[in-house]
Amino acid sequence: MKNQILKIVKIGGNVINNEDALRSFLKDFAALEGPKILVHGGGRKASEVSAAMGLEPKMINGRRVTDEATVEVVTMVYAGLLNKKIIANLQSFGCNAMGLSGADANCILAHKRIVKDIDYGFAGDVDAINSEIIGVLIKNNVTPVFCAITHDKNGQLLNTNADTIASEVAIGMSNLYKTELNFVFELKGVLEDIEDKNSVIEQINSEKYEQLVVKGVIADGMLPKMHNCFNSLEKGVDKVKIGDASLVKSSTKLYTTLSL
């Protein structure tokens, strides 16, 4: 299978939050030829459901603090409502997909994040990917769709960053396939000028990445995303691309490709 390319695509909240955009993207994703995996986060829905239940979402540095009540909400929203909505749409486009959390078939094993400066509660850091069972699904023409929920093998569910899950799944599957990791977000790629949405930097290697960080071109929320990208390249992923929802179309020419 090492001669086959497996595409791992992660979609962000800008797609999930817009039903028309989500359906359009899923139609394009379903049309992708060859083996593929989809990873999704939760968008705004978890915060909306929390508010409806009288729970105040707790955020620190833009990251959700997952207490006991919140882990129940995010599991219901990510692994339930959003995941099954995505699955139903993919089935309507002829893509035989299966919705999964990390706990299902022990696909993604994680541990509760060790508290250093900030306690994020039941946030999970990935330990291992069960590439064998994921490979069985793909071999049988089933497209896995992972939400941002993992587990610790001791009965505890964990809220885990979806970018990290996508990166770790790509790394884990690289022993079976040539893996291509695609991060889909609201921009066409990494921008030279944030005010110019077409100023996409088409190629970034590790040296240029360091230069862009020093210049402040890559900053804030892009830093952890780019860290995941280069970490995956260093650990066996063949290619990483960043772009908007059109990234999965073969006709798309404007996006950022990362290399070591």
Is 44 flagged in the annotation as binding? no
What region, left, alpha or beta, does residue 200 occupy, with left being phi > 0 and alpha being psi -120 to 50 degrees? beta
The C-alpha atoms of residue 83 and residue 23 are separated, in whole angstroms, by 13
36-53: b (≥16 Cβ within 10 Å) or e: bbbbbbbbebbbebbeee
Whether residue 221 is annotated as binding a ligand: the answer is no
* Partner residues linked to 100 by β-bridges: 146
Residue 64 assigned as binding residue: yes
189 DSSP 8-state letter: S
- What is the β-pairing status of strands 157-159 and 149-151? antiparallel
β-strand partners of 182: 9, 241
23 is in an annotated binding site: no
Q: Residues annotated in the binding site, as ranges?
A: 42-43, 64, 159
Binding-site residues for substrate? 42-43, 64, 159
